[in-house]
C-alpha cells in the first residue's frame, strides 16, 4: 500500500567517496534535471554534461536499460564546456547514460542512471504453485534433525562487554552450518538477527566476519557462513580450499534441480539458525529479524517468505532477483542464473524457487531495502521488482551515482542496523 512506502534519496556527496584514477578523472560530471533521479514514463530526462579540467572534444554517449539493453548510442562534438542529452523510457525501468570524452590524448568516463516510474516495475515470473509445499518439505526434513548446537567462545574485541562464540548447527544433507554469535552486554532478553553474507569471492567466501555492530546496537546477531566450513581458522587453510571451488561457482551447483540446488541447504540453514536462537533464554523470540546484502539479501528474502518468526527484514542491494528478466530483455540479478547455465526449462523451474523478487510477495513484515542506481551485479530494476512485491510496510534507501562495491560501507551498514534496532524495540 502506497502509504507504507518511503523512498529516501541519499545525495551522492553523502553516499560515498571515491578515489578516481587519471583515466576516470572528475573532469566530466553528469546531472539529471530531476534532483531525485526519478521520472514518470514518457517524460524526457535531460542530462547536463559539464566538462572541467579538460579541453572539449569528441563525446561518445550510450543510453541503455541498466547497461543491459542498448537504446541509443552516438558521438557528438563538444565545442563548449557543457552539453545536454535527453531520452525518455516508454515503460517502467532504469535509464543509464554512459559518456566518454576524448581530449588531448586522454579519455574521461562517467555514468549516471535515473528511474522511470520504478514503483510500477514487477517481476517477470510468478511463484510456482507448490512453492510453500516445496520449502515445507525441506523444513520438515530439518525438524527431524536435532539442532545439536556446538559453541566455542572466542574473544570479542569490537563491542565492549559483549561476548562472542563460534556456533555450529546440524543442517540437512548431513551438513552443518557455521556462524559467529555475538551477544551484547546485559542480561536480555534481546532482539536477535540472523545475518546472511554476500558473495565476496576468493578466500573471503570462507572468512565471514562476526558483524558485531548489531550487538553494538543492542541486538544479538548470528552471522552465518553459507559454505559449511568451520570458521576462525588461519587464512592459509581457506586459501587451500579455493582450488576445490567449482569452476562455474557455487551459485551454479545443481541449478537444474531445485532439490539439489546449492542454496537449498543454505536457506534451510537460515531457518536452523532461527531454531537455535529460539532455544536461548537471552533471546526475545517475538523480536527476530533477518538481514543481508547482495547474495545475503536474496537469501534473506527467501527465508523471510517462509518463516513467520521473522518480524522485520533488512535487505541491502539484494541479488537473486528476477532471474527470468533476461527472457524479456531486462536485467537479472546476480548470479545471472539463466545467463550462466542456459535458458532450459529445468533451469527456469529451479529459478522460481530461489528468486527473491518472487518470494517478496509473501513477506508482510516491515522491510528496509537499499538500491544503488549504477549497480550492475544487482541492477536497480531487479531490486525494485522485489521491493514492489512486498506486502508490508517498506522503505528504500536510494543511492544515485553508486555501483555495487560502493553499496557496502560502514556508514550505510549502520543506517540499516539503526533502522532494524528501531523496528525490533
pLDDT confidence of residue 417? 98
pLDDT at 7 over 70: no
Residues 343, 370 contacting (CB under 8 angstroms): no
Cis previous bond, 353, omega within 30: no
More confident residue, 26 or 16: 26
pLDDT confidence of residue 3? 30
Distance CA 335, CA 323 (A): 8
> What is the band of 364 on the pLDDT scale with cuts at 50, 70, 90?
very high
> What is the band of 246 on the pLDDT scale with cuts at 50, 70, 90?
confident
In this predicted model, what pLDDT tens digit does every residue of 18-50 receive, in sequence order? 222 334 344 789 999 999 999 999 999 999 998
In this predicted model, what pLDDT tens digit does every residue of 295-340 receive, in sequence order? 999 999 999 999 999 999 999 999 999 999 999 999 999 999 999 9
In this predicted model, what pLDDT tens digit does every residue of 154-164 receive, in sequence order? 998 889 999 99
Residues 296, 196 contacting (CB under 8 angstroms): yes
Which of 108-112, 169-173, 349-353 shows the lowest per-residue confidence on average (mean pLDDT)? 108-112
pLDDT confidence of residue 8? 56
pLDDT confidence of residue 361? 98
Share of the chain above pLDDT 70, in %: 93
pLDDT at 16 over 60: no
The structural domains of the chain, ordered by start, are: 11-120 (2.60.40.2470), 131-423 (3.40.50.1820)
Distance CA 224, CA 266 (A): 10
Distance CA 254, CA 263 (A): 9
> What is the band of 247 on the pLDDT scale with cuts at 50, 70, 90?
low
Average pLDDT over residues 369-383: 97
pLDDT at 2 over 60: no
**Residue 335's closest CA among 320, 324, 354, 356?**
320
> What is the band of 11 on the pLDDT scale with cuts at 50, 70, 90?
very low
Q: Within 10 Å of residue 24's Cβ, how many Cβ atoms?
A: 14
Share of the chain above pLDDT 90, in %: 83
Strand bridging mode 58-65 / 163-170: unpaired
Query: What does the H/E/C string look like for the chain?
Result: CHHHEEEEECCHHHHCCCCCCHHHCCCEEEEECCCCCEECCCCCEEEEEEECCCCCCEEEEEEEECCCEEEEEEEEECCCCEEEEEECCCCCEEEEEEEEEEECCEEEEEEEEEEECHHHCCCCCCCCCCHHHHHHHHHHHHHCCCCCCEEEEECCCCCCCCEEEEEEEECCCCCEEEEEEEECCCCCCEEEEEEECCCCCHHHHHCCCCCCHHHHCCCEEEEEECCCCCCCCCHHHHHHHHHHCCCCCHHHCCCCCCCCCHHHHHHHHHHHHHHHHCCCCCEEEEEEEEEEECHHHHHHHHHHHHCCCEEEEEEECCCCCCHHHHHHCCCCCCCCHHHHHCCCHHHHHHHHHCCHHHHHHHCCCCEEEEEECCCCCCCHHHHHHHHCCCCCCEEEEEECCCCCHHHCCHHHHHHHHHHHHHHCC
Angstrom CA distances, 62 to 86, 267, 416, stand at 11, 39, 34
Model pTM? 0.92
pLDDT confidence of residue 343? 93
In this predicted model, what pLDDT tens digit does every residue of 114-146 receive, in sequence order? 999 999 999 999 999 999 999 999 999 999 999
Average pLDDT over residues 222-240: 93
In this predicted model, what pLDDT tens digit does every residue of 60-95 receive, in sequence order? 999 999 999 999 999 988 777 888 999 999 999 999
Average pLDDT over residues 96-101: 94
Distance CA 328, CA 338 (A): 12
pLDDT confidence of residue 54? 65
pLDDT confidence of residue 105? 74
Amino acid at each position: 500500500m502506497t502509504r507504507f512506502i518511503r523512498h529516501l534519496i541519499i545525495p551522492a556527496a553523502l553516499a560515498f567517496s571515491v578515489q578516481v584514477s587519471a583515466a576516470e578523472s572528475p573532469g566530466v560530471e553528469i546531472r539529471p534535471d530531476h534532483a531525485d533521479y526519478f521520472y514518470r514514463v514518457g517524460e524526457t530526462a535531460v542530462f547536463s554534461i559539464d566538462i572541467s579540467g579538460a579541453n572539449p572534444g569528441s563525446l561518445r554517449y550510450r543510453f541503455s536499460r541498466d547497461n543491459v539493453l542498448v537504446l541509443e548510442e552516438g558521438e557528438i562534438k563538444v565545442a563548449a564546456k557543457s552539453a545536454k542529452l535527453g531520452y525518455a523510457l516508454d515503460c517502467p525501468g532504469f535509464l543509464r547514460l554512459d559518456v566518454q570524452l576524448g581530449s588531448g590524448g586522454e579519455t574521461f568516463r562517467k555514468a549516471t542512471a535515473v528511474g522511470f516510474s520504478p514503483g510500477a516495475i514487477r517481476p517477470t515470473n510468478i511463484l510456482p504453485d507448490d512453492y510453500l509445499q516445496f520449502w515445507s518439505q525441506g523444513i520438515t526434513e530439518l525438524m527431524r534433525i536435532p539442532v545439536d548446537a556446538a559453541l566455542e567462545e572466542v574473544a570479542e574485541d569490537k563491542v565492549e562487554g559483549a561476548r562472542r562464540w563460534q556456533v555450529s548447527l546440524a543442517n540437512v544433507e548431513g551438513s552443518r552450518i557455521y556462524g559467529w554469535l555475538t551477544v551484547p552486554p546485559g542480561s536480555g532478553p534481546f532482539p536477535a538477527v540472523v545475518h546472511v553474507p554476500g558473495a565476496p569471492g576468493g578466500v573471503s567466501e570462507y572468512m565471514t566476519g562476526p558483524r558485531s555492530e548489531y550487538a553494538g546496537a543492542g541486538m544479538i546477531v548470528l552471522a552465518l557462513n553459507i559454505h559449511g566450513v568451520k570458521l576462525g581458522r588461519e587464512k592459509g587453510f581457506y586459501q587451500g580450499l579455493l582450488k576445490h571451488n567449482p569452476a562455474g561457482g557455487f551459485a551454479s551447483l545443481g541449478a537444474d534441480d531445485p532439490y539439489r540446488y546449492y542454496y537449498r541447504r543454505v536457506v534451510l540453514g537460515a531457518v536452523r539458525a532461527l531454531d537455535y536462537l529460539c532455544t536461548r533464554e537471552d533471546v526475545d523470540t517475538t523480536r527476530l529479524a533477518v538481514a543481508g546484502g547482495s547474495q545475503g539479501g536474496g537469501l534473506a528474502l527467501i527465508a523471510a517468505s517462509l518463516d513467520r518468526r521473522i518480524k522485520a527484514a533488512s535487505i541491502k542491494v539484494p541479488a537473486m532477483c528476477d532471474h527470468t528478466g533476461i527472457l524479456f530483455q531486462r536485467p537479472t540479478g546476480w548470479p545471472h542464473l539463466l545467463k550462466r547455465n542456459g535458458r532450459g526449462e529445468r533451469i527456469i523451474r529451479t529459478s522460481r524457487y530461489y528468486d527473491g523478487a518472487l518470494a517478496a510477495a509473501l513477506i508482510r513484515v516491515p522491510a528496509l531495502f537499499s538500491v544503488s542506481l549504477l549497480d550492475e551485479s544487482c541492477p536497480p530494476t531487479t531490486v525494485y521488482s522485489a521491493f514492489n512485491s512486498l506486502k508490508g510496510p517498506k522503505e528504500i534507501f536510494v543511492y544515485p551515482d553508486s555501483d555495487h562495491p560502493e553499496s557496502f560501507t560502514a556508514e550505510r551498514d549502520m543506517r540499516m542496523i539503526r533502522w532494524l534496532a528501531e523496528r525490533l524495540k
